A and B are shown apart, each in its own frame.
Chain A
Amino acid sequence: MAHSFGRILSSKRNVGILSLIGAGSVTAGFLLKREHVSAGAGVRRVYPASAEYPDLRKHNNCMASHLTPAIYAKLVDKATPNGYTLDEAIQTGVDNPGHPFIKTVGMVAGDEESYQVFADLLNPVIKERHNGYDPETMTHPTDLDSSKLTSGQFDDRYVLSSRVRTGRSIRGLSLPPACTRAERREVERVVVDALAGLKEDLAGKYYSLTNMTDQEQQQLIDDHFLFDKPVSPLLTCSGMARDWPDARGIWHNNTKTFLVWINEEDHTRVISMEKGGNMKRVFDRFCTGLKEVERLIQEKGWEFMWNERLGYILTCPSNLGTGLRAGVHVKLPRLSKDPRFSKILDNLRLQKRGTGGVDTAAVGSTFDISNLDRLGQSEVQLVQTVVDGVNYLIECEKKLEKGQDIKIPAPYRK
């Protein structure tokens, strides 16, 4: 077992403990600890919640939809044991009113405990974002047994590449919006240490963003692996880009089919990918790799943040549950022009993106097609949804090629 971090970890095993800090006790703490300052220096005024409540009239995000003045008043004086507050959690949603068409989440978690301390706000947000999933009453299934996947080989004439990604957080360390430099560096150490234990087709190498050579950097760019400092205000406003590029890096296996991002939007993002349509193999490697990394960190006394209500705990509430996005780049020149395309995707519980990822446009009718859902269904279920859905889309495309008509499938039932 490790060092000082080990002790902090064991004291945090009881994740259910909340630290409810009222304004009075915090003020007392200030008075006891404050250094002497020149006479006449003002003490920070404590305003009523109503004076602090954000102006959300022009906002269209999940946080704004659910943060009533009453909930704000109830939660504003609370903090997680590490000191993370409601105002910090919602800052990104206050600063980014949202798009009239796209409803962003509008808040993040600073640590595992945020999901409990701010449950009065997070639960309705989660419910809205995840189609009615109720963290108070429901349980989330985790299933990384990839052998259950059927028909996971796509027609390579249509599917150019296949990819599955998720995120994992290291229990006991704060999340990117709130982590200190020491915590972030510890995440890097723990994960890099574990990845060094991967063998055979998973064996690979770590490239720290602060230390890579120009040559390594160019290679990573050419491979489309390199991630850069976030520019999206959704991310920067939540504090995730602090201290960039300290303790950030990329690990990938020698065959470049398994990739881990460290300390970007989450502690880790894990990606399995390859050219072509062999989603089965991509998912096999994904599950094997994840389980192996988990085993390796457990050997050192660490574990992933997970609970049976929310599944895997990640920074953004939209990634709870599986945190999984399984997708393909697929050519659908005829289907994408059919007016029924969106409806077909909806019913298949799929979403389309451009080939640059979220917020990009499609190039030449090649689309990124992936699962919409994250929470409430298992990894196996979601990847199966993508497999079945993409197979259906390809069938539609082939029908349209032959001049045949297509059908909108029935809405997906679990």
Chain B
Amino acid sequence: MAKNVHNDYKMKFSVDEEYPDLSLHNNHMAKVLTKEMYAKLRSKSTPSGFTLDDCIQTGVDNPGHPFIMTVGCVAGDEESYEVFKDMFDPIISDRHSGYKPTDKHVTDLNFENLKGGDDLDPAYVLSSRVRTGRSIKGYTLPPHNSRAERRMVEKLSIEALATLDGEFKGKYYPLNGMTDAEQDQLINDHFLFDKPVSPLLLAAGMARDWPDARGIWHNDAKSFLVWVNEEDHLRVISMEKGGNMKEVFRRFCVGLNKIEEVFKKHNHGFMWNEHLGFVLTCPSNLGTGLRGGVHVKLPKLSTHAKFEEILTRLRLQKRGTGGVDTASVGGIFDISNADRLGSSEVNQVQLVVDGVKLMVEMEKKLEKGESIDAIIPAQK
């Protein structure tokens, strides 16, 4: 509550004295936040009391990597993207391939619009997964929320998820109450998330009060999973072994729509607007917030000179099988969509489906000693 008092206190000091030293920094925030912009925005505060310094703390504390460009700022609530528009707009443009402040984002969670996706070769595609995030309107986001707000998000989520039935019937496991047996099972299923260790997240304040009001819900079939109060209010994940991305996406869309209906009925819709799509904590996840991907064996293609180029043209990115910031093991890669904002869920999953199919073809050709030059795609 006293956040504005503190910000008013800070205004007594000059811009020169307060402006952060970003000379060694390499993140989107540092590229964009000039002293003039800082001067213009520093007196502002969202209605809940989130300030510019709160947004940028993670980017000040984490100068970044010479090769990887991190975002360097977060939103503390839905209004952050509006109040600090002057900073967020250029960051969003830079991160999301030139997305303009006047652009409109299309949301399409109609799984029937996906073509194919049920015929990825399981000899190569080991698993398929689609994840996204959702924020509950009216509550501040993980960098800023109070304990009571976080607990309300958990309470609403548990209530909503408890209404699901059929293939979505499941159970909630609060982090702060699970038995050892439950914990072991969740670890074995690779479902359990732990307190963040990344300084990018810690510096943004998302791990406060851990593990209060954090938990994991999953359906009995273990193919649909929801994380509550980790980096976002909700992270929703649909997954299964093998290459049936079509089915994974169907379950993703159906499940999400069901959950959203329940939240809306209780007057708590998801944060969404026609410019930014789904509003999430990190600007990198705006739009669809969707990462659809597979674990796929590409030992030959991954060592091909044009591998990176192919990925770029297909609008895909690679990660190790441990997720972001991990290395590949045994030629198995996590391949997913690179885009989030400016194209729909269907578009993005379509790119994954088509792109992975093509790359598996390339792998097979390389196995036979054939060239892949003829099937290298144009830029999508």
Task: Give A contacts to B, CB under 8 Å.
Answer: 4, 8, 19, 21, 23, 26, 29-30, 33-35, 37-38, 41-48, 51-55, 77, 79, 81-85, 87, 91, 94-95, 178, 180-183, 185-186, 210, 236-237, 241-244, 246
Within 8 A of A (CB), among B131-177: 137-140, 146-149, 151, 176
Cα of A182 to Cα of B42 in the assembled complex, Å: 13
23 A-B pairs within 8 Å (CB atoms) are namely A4-B13, A4-B14, A8-B12, A19-B5, A26-B1, A38-B82, A41-B47, A42-B48, A46-B1, A47-B146, A54-B212, A83-B2, A83-B4, A83-B5, A91-B209, A94-B208, A180-B10, A181-B20, A182-B14, A182-B17, A183-B13, A185-B17, A243-B61
Cα of A37 to Cα of B75 in the assembled complex, Å: 15
**Of A4, A41, A47, A83, which contacts B3 at CB under 8 A?**
A83
Query: Closest Cβ of chain B: how far from A300's Cβ, in Å?
Result: 17
Question: Which of A23, A30, A186 has the largest number of chain B CB atoms within 10 A?
Answer: A30
Interface: B9 (CB within 8 A): yes
For B8, list chain A residues within 8 Å (CB).
83
For A95, list chain B residues within 8 Å (CB).
207-210
A interface secondary structure, majority: loop
Do A242 and B5 touch (CB < 8 A)? no
Q: A21-B5, A84-B2, A242-B57 are in contact. List 11 more A-B contacts (CB 8 A).
A: A30-B4, A33-B45, A34-B45, A34-B46, A34-B47, A42-B48, A83-B5, A91-B209, A182-B17, A236-B202, A243-B20
Interface: B106 (CB within 8 A): no
Interface: B349 (CB within 8 A): no
The contact string, 1 if C-beta is below 8 Å from chain A, for chain B 13-46, is 1100111110000000000000000000000111
Do A30 and B49 touch (CB < 8 A)? yes
Cα of A313 to Cα of B49 in the assembled complex, Å: 29
Cα of A67 to Cα of B139 in the assembled complex, Å: 26
**Of B1, B47, B151, which contacts A85 at CB under 8 A?**
B1
Cα of A168 to Cα of B60 in the assembled complex, Å: 27
For A83, list chain B residues within 8 Å (CB).
2-9
**Of B5, B19, B79, which contacts A41 at CB under 8 A?**
B79
Cα of A85 to Cα of B3 in the assembled complex, Å: 9
Cα of A237 to Cα of B77 in the assembled complex, Å: 21
Size of the chain B interface, CB-CB below 8 angstroms: 51
Do B148 and A52 touch (CB < 8 A)? yes
Do A44 and B14 touch (CB < 8 A)? no
Given A42-B78, A51-B151, A182-B17, residue A4 in contact with residue B12 (CB < 8 A): yes
For B49, list chain A residues within 8 Å (CB).
30, 44
For A77, list chain B residues within 8 Å (CB).
1
Interface: B83 (CB within 8 A): yes
The contact string, 1 if C-beta is below 8 Å from chain A, for chain B 43-85, is 0111111000100010011000000000000000111001100
**Which residue of B has the minimal Cβ distance to A46?**
B1
Cα of A182 to Cα of B7 in the assembled complex, Å: 13
Do A37 and B209 touch (CB < 8 A)? no
**Which residue of A has the minimal Cβ distance to B202?**
A236
Do B61 and A242 touch (CB < 8 A)? yes
For A21, list chain B residues within 8 Å (CB).
1-2, 5
Do B208 and A91 touch (CB < 8 A)? yes
Question: Which of A42, A85, A183 has the largest number of chain B CB atoms within 10 A?
Answer: A42
Question: Which of A8, A35, A53 has the largest number of chain B CB atoms within 10 A?
Answer: A35
Given A51-B151, A84-B2, residue A246 in contact with residue B78 (CB < 8 A): no
Closest 4 CB pairs of A and B: A83-B6, A44-B48, A79-B2, A83-B5
Do A87 and B10 touch (CB < 8 A)? no
Do A33 and B9 touch (CB < 8 A)? no
**Which residue of B has the minimal Cβ distance to A34?**
B47
Cα of A213 to Cα of B233 in the assembled complex, Å: 44
**Which residue of A has the minimal Cβ distance to B6?**
A83
Do A241 and B5 touch (CB < 8 A)? no
Cα of A77 to Cα of B5 in the assembled complex, Å: 12
For A26, list chain B residues within 8 Å (CB).
1-2, 4-5
For A38, list chain B residues within 8 Å (CB).
79, 82, 273
For B83, list chain A residues within 8 Å (CB).
35, 37
Question: Which of B12, B19, B20, B77 has the largest number of chain A CB atoms within 10 A?
Answer: B12
For A182, list chain B residues within 8 Å (CB).
10, 13-14, 17-18
Query: Closest Cβ of chain B: how far from A32's Cβ, in Å?
Result: 10
For A91, list chain B residues within 8 Å (CB).
208-209
For A181, list chain B residues within 8 Å (CB).
17-20
Cα of A128 to Cα of B79 in the assembled complex, Å: 43
Cα of A91 to Cα of B205 in the assembled complex, Å: 11
**Of A34, A82, A180, which contacts B5 at CB under 8 A?**
A82
Do B149 and A243 touch (CB < 8 A)? no
For A81, list chain B residues within 8 Å (CB).
9
For B203, list chain A residues within 8 Å (CB).
242
